[in-house]
């Protein structure tokens, strides 16, 4: 198949060749169940899982025993949010999140509201940024959790998690962060954070595996497991471990640690080149701030074109999206851009370009030419 240029790395990344190579023996040669404690097949698998736990902990500055493996970020998010809600069952419960969070977080809170919790959805500015004073004033005596993402998947905006963690610490409130788009892209640390979700396929690992960081040795409670079974992963997540996937996630974390700085610089330059060229097209607007954002993401609105036509036409030669992969089937404008106050028509006519490990300068030049051509053509019709 003749694939288009790929600029949708926030949706998913290809498995790095080194990751694939590391995983292969664990499908066939070393096929043991990591929970089989009585023979070498299980011991070898368990050892591989523990090595990966260590590699992933290193990526986020955690201890290996604080890493709980899941099937991905959505499960990790559900475990974090619903698991805390169940711990406080019977009490008045208030939660704080933001209007621009990922749907996995927003949908969890919609479920909690049905079960009696109250939720404050913080607004964001036109640039997609949070106001810390608004956050502070939203805290109530029965606030159980602040749930705010580290970096936004649609605009790349990085939230001030260090400052947010100080607010949570001071008020003795659980801080949960969805760090899916930040892990492996920018330096992050679990300092001051209680719960953190990450996903392997966002940093060149396989799909179907993720992790929840759960802070140890702290007075605030840990979440209750959401899947009943054999009590795997210290009872937080029952189910046979996906050993090949976990091995792949560990290898991907190790690779990203090594290339974090070099890729940050390379992708920033390519992203800026793409962004500056596209913003020269008349009637284009950058969605979000140019400061405090991921190095590889830009989100641009194109005036005077129909959103669906724009996306369909651009994707003939360049694979991009209009927002989160989880909601890309919907013709509705992105909820993130709506929260930022963008006109719905302009929200629909916005494209997220996200670059990655395999992106070349030539691809950026070709993308600019193609997008200019498409936009001018659509405006003529």
The rounded distance, in Å, linking the Cα atoms of 293 and 291 is: 6
CB atoms within 10 A of CB 222: 20
Q: How far apart are CA 219 and CA 234, in angstroms?
A: 18
The dihedrals phi and psi of 36, each to the nearest 5 degrees, come to -80, 100
Give me the DSSP letters along 275-322. Answer: HHHHTTSTTEEE-S-SSSB-TTEEEEEETTS-HHHHHHHHTTTEE-BS
The per-residue DSSP string of 169-224 comes to: HHHT-EEEEE-TTTTTTS----TT-SEEEEEGGGTTS-TT-EEEEE--S-SSPPPP
Beta strand 297-302 with 284-286 is: antiparallel
Q: Is 326 a catalytic residue?
A: yes
For residue 196, list its beta bridge partners.
177, 213
Which entry of 15, 108, 315, 326 is annotated as an active-site residue?
326
Q: Which residues are catalytic?
A: 326
């Amino acid at each position: 198949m003749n694939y288009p240029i790929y600029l949708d790395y926030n949706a998913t990344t290809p498995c790095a060749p080194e990751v694939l190579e590391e995983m292969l023996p664990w499908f066939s040669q070393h096929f043991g169940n990591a929970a089989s404690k009585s023979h070498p097949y299980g011991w070898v698998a368990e050892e591989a899982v523990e090595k990966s736990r260590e590699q992933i902990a290193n990526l986020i500055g955690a201890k290996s025993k604080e890493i709980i493996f899941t099937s991905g970020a959505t499960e990790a998010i559900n475990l974090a949010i619903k698991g805390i809600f169940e711990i406080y069952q019977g009490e008045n419960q208030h939660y704080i999140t933001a209007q621009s969070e990922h749907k996995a977080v927003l949908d969890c809170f919609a479920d909690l509201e049905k079960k009696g919790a109250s939720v404050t959805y913080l607004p964001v500015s036109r640039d997609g940024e949070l106001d810390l004073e608004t956050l502070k004033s939203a805290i109530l005596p029965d606030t159980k959790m602040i749930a705010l993402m580290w970096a936004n998947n649609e605009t790349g905006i990085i939230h001030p998690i260090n400052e947010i963690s100080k607010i949570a610490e001071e008020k003795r409130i659980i801080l949960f962060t969805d760090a899916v788009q930040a892990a492996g892209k920018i330096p992050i640390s679990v300092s001051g954070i209680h719960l953190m979700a990450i996903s392997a396929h966002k940093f060149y690992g396989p799909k179907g595996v993720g992790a929840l960081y759960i802070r140890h040795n702290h007075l605030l409670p840990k979440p209750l497991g959401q899947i009943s079974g054999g009590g795997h992963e210290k009872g937080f997540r029952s189910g046979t471990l996906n050993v090949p996937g976990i091995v792949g996630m560990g290898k991907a974390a190790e690779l990203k640690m090594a290339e974090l700085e070099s890729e940050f610089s390379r992708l920033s330059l390519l992203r800026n080149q793409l962004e500056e060229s596209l913003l020269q097209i008349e009637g284009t607007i950058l969605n979000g701030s140019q400061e405090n954002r991921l190095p590889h993401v830009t989100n641009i609105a194109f005036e005077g074109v129909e959103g669906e036509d724009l996306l369909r036409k651009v994707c003939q030669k360049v694979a991009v999206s209009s927002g989160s992969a989880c909601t890309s089937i919907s013709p509705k404008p992105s909820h993130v851009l709506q929260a930022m106050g963008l006109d719905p028509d302009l929200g629909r006519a916005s494209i997220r370009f996200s670059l990655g490990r395999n992106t070349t300068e030539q691809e950026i030049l070709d993308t600019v030419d193609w997008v200019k051509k498409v936009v001018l053509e659509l405006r003529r019709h």
